[in-house]
Amino acid sequence: MTQPLGVILAGGLATRMGGGDKGRLLVGGESLLSRVADRLGPQVAGLALNANGDSERFADLGLPVIADSIAGFAGPLAGVLAGLDWAAEQGANTIVTAAADTPFFPRDLVARLTAAAQGMEHPLALATTPRTGGESLKSGGRSKVNRHPAFGLWPVALRDDLRAALNDGLRKVVLWTDRHGGREALFEADPFDPFFNINTPEDLAKAEALLT
């Protein structure tokens, strides 16, 4: 299978929203999860949801639900690993991940991540957007962009390497992607950052406003 599979990352705790399944929040009368699935689904060969706990609560979505294999809510990399293990069972070579709380990400996400990773033995790329003028800049070439670690193209061939890194305590996505020469796909952030995600009630209100 050459076309990537898609995995929606919904394994977080949503503490700033009071807990629960943040993806069930409504924006414009539609849940965040439905909006994300509608955007990612047409771009991939198949779609699954990474979530922990009782999978039956997502039965209405009609998607396979895959849980983290690393205990203790180890962050987005644990969801990536769960997705890679699932993809390996399907005979896929790569997955593309998207966060469950980011309803406006680009509809050409997969195409542009794939293009950025062209020629790599193990395709690996993260989505980025330009930093705004008000954001502090660090030294080095990567300082001019924001990397969005929940939005990436990931190779099934490196899943055991990722598993070992997680078991060794690694949690920061970019440390692992940099280790393997991960590339970047740059997306415009005008009129707003398409990877804007909903963490607070104020963010939810902002998302509603962006739909009007």
The predicted structure's pLDDT at residue 212: 76
Whether residue 130 is preceded by a cis peptide bond, meaning omega within 30 degrees of 0, is no
The per-type count for the chain, helices as H runs and strands as E runs, is 6, 9
Three-class SS state of 152: strand
Assigned token pair, 189: 């952030």
The predicted structure's pLDDT at residue 71: 82
- CA dihedral in degrees (190, 192, 197, 202; nearest 10)? 170
Annotated ligand binding at 10? The verdict is: yes
Annotated ligand binding at 85? The verdict is: no
Residue 4, sorted as left (phi over 0), alpha (psi -120 to 50) or beta, turns out to be beta
Residue type at 203 in one-letter notation: D
Below-70 pLDDT ranges, the chain = 1, 12-20, 133-143
Report all structural domains of the chain as residue ranges with CATH numbers, in order of start. 5-211 (3.90.550.10)
The predicted structure's pLDDT at residue 20: 66
* pTM of the entire predicted model: 0.91
Residue spans of alpha helices (H) in the chain: 32-40, 76-90, 109-116, 159-167, 173-179, 201-211
Annotated ligand binding at 84? The verdict is: no
Three-class SS state of 126: strand
Annotated ligand binding at 203? The verdict is: no
The tens digit of pLDDT for each residue in 86-141 reads 999 999 999 999 999 999 999 999 999 999 999 999 999 999 999 875 444 443 44
Annotated ligand binding at 83? The verdict is: no
